[in-house]
């Protein structure tokens, strides 16, 4: 998928496998079976102050699954032309975000944990952190 050709239609919610019993729920993920890419990096954010936001960038090549492991938050997605907001509030639902999509995370509930499964290791040069630079690149279609 090309950065220039990605759209909001390429981002989607997926229901993760869930095993339920009296002792609680378990979600186990196998990269090649349950996800569309192999996981190379996992990180999570937590203790986010009230009113704070995260993200505010796009990636050139990175694919991500974003999961509300605990609590809830909203993800604003922007493909340079269209925007939509997705509320994540279940640990068995993941939002796939493809390269070329601007994302901003906000409206975190108290105790929210945002878990991210990434297709690549951290690379600073994969980030576009200025919205106008992102918009101008997308206009080069």
Give residue 125's pLDDT: 95
Catalytic position from the list 5, 20, 57, 106: 57
The pTM is what?
Answer: 0.92
- Domain segments of the chain: what residues? 3-139
Nearest to 49 by CA among 139, 109, 131, 94: 109
CA distance 84 to 46: 24
Q: Is 57 a catalytic residue?
A: yes
Give per-residue pLDDT as tens, 75-110: 999 999 999 999 999 999 999 999 999 999 999 999
Q: Chain-wide mean pLDDT for the chain?
A: 92
- CATH number given to 3-139: 2.60.120.10
Predicted confidence (pLDDT) at residue 66 exceeds the cutoff of 90: yes
pLDDT tens per residue across span 10-44: 999 999 999 998 999 998 888 778 888 999 999 99
Cβ neighbours of residue 141 closer than 8 Å, sequence gap 6 or more: 4, 5
Supply the DSSP string of 34-58, one letter for each residue.
Answer: HSSS---EEEEE--PPTT--EEEEE
- Work out the number of other CB atoms within 10 angstroms of the CB of residue 51: 8
């Amino acid at each position: 998928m090309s950065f220039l050709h990605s759209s909001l239609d390429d981002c989607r919610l997926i229901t993760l496998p869930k095993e339920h019993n009296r002792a609680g729920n378990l979600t186990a993920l196998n990269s090649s079976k349950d996800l569309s890419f192999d996981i190379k990096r996992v990180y999570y954010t937590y203790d986010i102050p009230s009113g704070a936001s995260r993200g505010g960038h796009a990636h050139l090549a990175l694919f991500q699954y974003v999961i509300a492991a605990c609590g809830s938050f909203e993800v604003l997605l922007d493909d340079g032309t269209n925007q939509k907001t997705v509320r994540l509030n279940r640990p068995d639902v993941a939002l796939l975000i493809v390269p070329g999509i601007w994302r901003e995370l906000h409206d975190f509930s108290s105790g929210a944990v945002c878990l991210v499964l990434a297709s690549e290791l951290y690379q600073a040069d994969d980030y576009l952190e200025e919205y106008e630079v992102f918009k101008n690149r997308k206009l080069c279609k």
